[in-house]
Amino acid sequence: MPIILAVAEQRDGVLRKVSFEVLAAARQLADALGGSVDAVLISSGEIAGAAELGRYGADRVLAARHPDFGMYSPDGYAATIAAAGRGATAIIFAATATGRDLAPRVAARLGVGLATDVTALGVQGGKVSATRPIYGGKILQAVVLEGSPAIASVRPNTVPAKEHNKAGTPVEQAVPAFVARVKVTAIKAAAAAVLDVAEAPVVISGGRGLKEPGHFALLEELAAAFGNAAVGASRAVVDAGWRDHGAQVGQTGKTVSPGLYIAVGISGAIQHLAGMRTSRTIVAINRDKDAPIFKVADYGVVGDLFEILPRLTAEVRKLRVEQ
Amino acid sequence: MKIAVCLKRVPDTTAKLMIAASGTAIDEAGLKFVPNPYDEYALEEALKQREAEGAGSAGETVVVSLGGDAAQETMRTALAMGIDRGIHLQSGGSVDGLEVARALAAELKAGGFDLILAGKLAVDDYNHQVAVMVAEILEVPCITAVSRLTITGVTVEAEREIEGGIEVSTCQLPAVITCDKGLNSPRLPSLKGIMAAKKKPLEVKPVTLGAGSVRVAGLILPPERKPGRIVGEGPEAVAELVRLLRDEAKVL
Ligand SMILES: Cc1cc2nc3c(=O)[nH]c(=O)nc-3n(C[C@H](O)[C@H](O)[C@H](O)COP(=O)(O)OP(=O)(O)OC[C@H]3O[C@@H](n4cnc5c(N)ncnc54)[C@H](O)[C@@H]3O)c2cc1C
Ligand SMILES: Nc1ncnc2c1ncn2[C@@H]1O[C@H](COP(=O)(O)O)[C@@H](O)[C@H]1O
């Protein structure tokens, strides 16, 4: 029976939500091919939330434990996944910082090609097929993965998590011997709970129209009203030192596909659009009615952001209280 | 240090793209090409590392690019920035990053490099993979998407951005490092550099790539976004915006 290996992610002992999206993608392939899904979970100990993997589509959960896996170990993880994935029909990663680092290592070890950052997966003539945005989303590339296993990474927020109520039978996965050529020594300023723009369901980004760094507080307040939002930024304000590069959306920043993207005081340069045009719903707030951002926005409000934002925050807060 | 930089030429990001008649590639006619922006950070880092070692220290910087003959033009830009010499691996390329990596690795292996620098991704194919695969094939350490790099002797310490934080890692040379924005500010070639670049050695080596296991079934233009609408002007429009987000887009 075809086995689809879904690579789950955890940090600091907590399962990361993106794992459920990877499972949803793996489940689609397994159902199309009449196969089953193995989630592989790499860690140094118990993982909070691991019991949920079955509910979201894993027939089995392969737990690979090693004392050195308290933090990410590129070589150790790659060796483990390559061992677990040899003979599988497909291996699916999340296109996260870890997944992007890891997937090519596994593909090279198994000697097969890799489709990164895919937004859809399917089966064509018995082979795994995938759709990938290339050239900053200006073109969609349809590929067929002819190697075995087929390896792909799924861009966060593009394949929604779904409950499937599978068994999630725990199985121990052996960790092969490996040489740790790279050692992760620390993670700074991270908390498993911090929402990253690349993964948040709602992203609110600000640009030069905010006028000064302190005014980003207006966006933080709106994000807090949503409760599930991250604050992003245009390159202009990142280069000016107003926001960290981690928040930059666009061609030289992050590519995001949230359910809702709100661009505030951002003109909509092509390099910015490259990072957000695949968002499900786009809202633009800009005082220039001819700003290019309005061309991709589903909903636009023309006017002064300093007048519009406080009103929007109040309305969203009111609605959240009612819910 | 002997440093190699992997450089790819990509269409200028503002270019409007059309799909070629084949349906599996873009039409390159009339397009302006530039060095991949992330590779510019790699080039700058190579120059900075060599400058830090001081004039007269042993070592060199070499730019390696796999592609058609037009790659040479982009390589001259690298030489104009200050890279010592170039190796052009002449090939039509492949959509399978592993095939590109195999050819690059074969060349780099012979070079005995202490450090191989690359971009974190090429903004044409968005593959995020070639340089990591090179490291795997050469069996050397690789740290990806690095925005801060310190090399002391043979010890590398690097920082890279992860969701909600910065991951700090370490490895020993020889190593492959892929570069992210924030690592440095790439210099522009000087007029003197442009003149000097014309005389720098650029070796051309034809290579043949394997067939690979990734097949392009076709390219399509993304579906046009439904034409958006201006909900209104000023704060008075907010109530209607919120209603649309809740009832029509169902995102609230
Ligand atoms: C190689 C390359 C890579 C790049 N990568 C990126 C990238 O990754 N991400 C990115 O964002 N950019 C990128 N850029 C830069 C990009 O071209 C733009 O310069 C940048 O996106 C502009 O940022 P902005 O929209 O904040 O500023 P501006 O273009 O200055 O726009 C500010 C907007 O705010 C509006 N505004 C001003 N005041 C108000 C107000 N009171 N109320 C409402 N609206 C107001 C204005 O009408 C204007 O539309 C890249 C450029 C290059 C060449
Ligand atoms: N054809 C190529 N020639 C030289 N270097 C390349 C080539 N393709 C990719 N690279 C290097 O690998 C990095 C990642 O590319 P990619 O995996 O295609 O996104 C690039 O930034 C380059 O440094």
Contact across the interface for B17 and A132, Cβ inside 8 Å: no
Q: Is the pLDDT of residue A194 over 70?
A: no
Query: Looking at the partner chain, which of B215, B233, B244 has a beta carbon nearest the beta carbon of A144?
Result: B215
User: Under the phi-then-psi rule, with left for phi > 0, alpha for psi from -120 to 50, and beta for the rest, what region is A126?
Assistant: left
3-state helix, strand, coil split of chain B in percent (to 5) is: 30, 30, 40
Mean pLDDT of all residues in B164-173? 94
Contact across the interface for A319 and B252, Cβ inside 8 Å: yes
Ligand 1 in contact with A236 (CB < 6 A)? yes
Mean pLDDT of all residues in A101-110? 98
Cβ-Cβ contacts under 8 Å between A and B: the total is: 272
Mean pLDDT of all residues in A76-94? 98
**pTM to 2 decimal places:** 0.91
Contact across the interface for A141 and B216, Cβ inside 8 Å: yes
Contact across the interface for B237 and A303, Cβ inside 8 Å: yes
Mean pLDDT of all residues in B103-107? 98
Supply the ipTM of this predicted assembly: 0.92
Ligand 1 in contact with A230 (CB < 6 A)? no
CA atoms within 13 A on the CB side of B200: 25
Which residues of chain B does A113 touch, with a Cβ-Cβ cutoff of 8 Å?
A: 96-99, 212-214
Query: Looking at the partner chain, which of B163, B167, B241 has a beta carbon nearest the beta carbon of A196?
Result: B163
Specify whether the CB–CB gap between A207 and A237 falls below 8 A.
yes
Query: Looking at the partner chain, which of A140, A145, A246 has a beta carbon nearest the beta carbon of B161?
Result: A246
Please give the pLDDT value at position A190: 54
Q: How many angstroms separate the CA of residue A51 from the nearest CA in chain B?
A: 23
Residue type, A210: L
Task: Name the 3-class secondary structure at B36.
Answer: coil
- Output the CA torsion A275→B141→A92→A163 (10° steps): -80
Contacts by residues A293-298 (CB-CB < 8 Å, ≥ 24 positions apart): A293/A263, A293/A266, A293/A267, A293/A268, A294/A268, A294/B228, A294/B230, A295/A268, A295/B228, A296/A268, A296/B225, A296/B228, A297/A263, A297/B228, A298/B225, A298/B226, A298/B228, A298/B229, A298/B249
Ligand 2 in contact with B130 (CB < 6 A)? yes
Please give the pLDDT value at position A192: 46
Chain B, residues 134-153, CB within 8 A of chain A, namely: 136-137, 140-145, 147
To test ligand 1's pocket by mutation, which of A197, A215, A245, A251 has the most ligand atoms within 8 angstroms of CB?
A251
Which residue has the CA at smallest separation from atom 17 of ligand 1? Answer: A269
Mean pLDDT of all residues in A2-29? 96
B38, B162, B221: which to substitute to probe chain A, counting the most A Cβ within 10 Å?
Answer: B162
Ligand 1 in contact with A206 (CB < 6 A)? no
Q: Is the pLDDT of residue A210 over 50?
A: yes
Specify whether the CB–CB gap between A184 and B167 falls below 8 A.
yes
In angstroms, what is the span from residue A65 Cα to ligand 1's centroid?
46
Q: Is the pLDDT of residue A165 over 70?
A: yes
Percentage of chain A beyond pLDDT 70 is 98
Please give the pLDDT value at position B17: 93
Contact across the interface for B225 and A277, Cβ inside 8 Å: yes
Please give the pLDDT value at position B226: 83
Please give the pLDDT value at position B23: 96
Contact across the interface for B220 and A142, Cβ inside 8 Å: yes
Contact across the interface for A113 and B238, Cβ inside 8 Å: no
Nearest-CA residue of chain B relative to A16? B163
Tens-place pLDDT, residues B190-240: 999 999 999 999 999 999 999 999 999 999 999 888 888 999 999 999 999
List CB contacts of A141: < 8 A, sequence separation 6 or more: A131, A132, A133, A134, B95, B125, B216, B219
Tens-place pLDDT, residues B10-23: 999 888 999 999 99
Mean pLDDT of all residues in A248-275? 96
Alpha carbon B57 to chain centroid distance?
A: 28
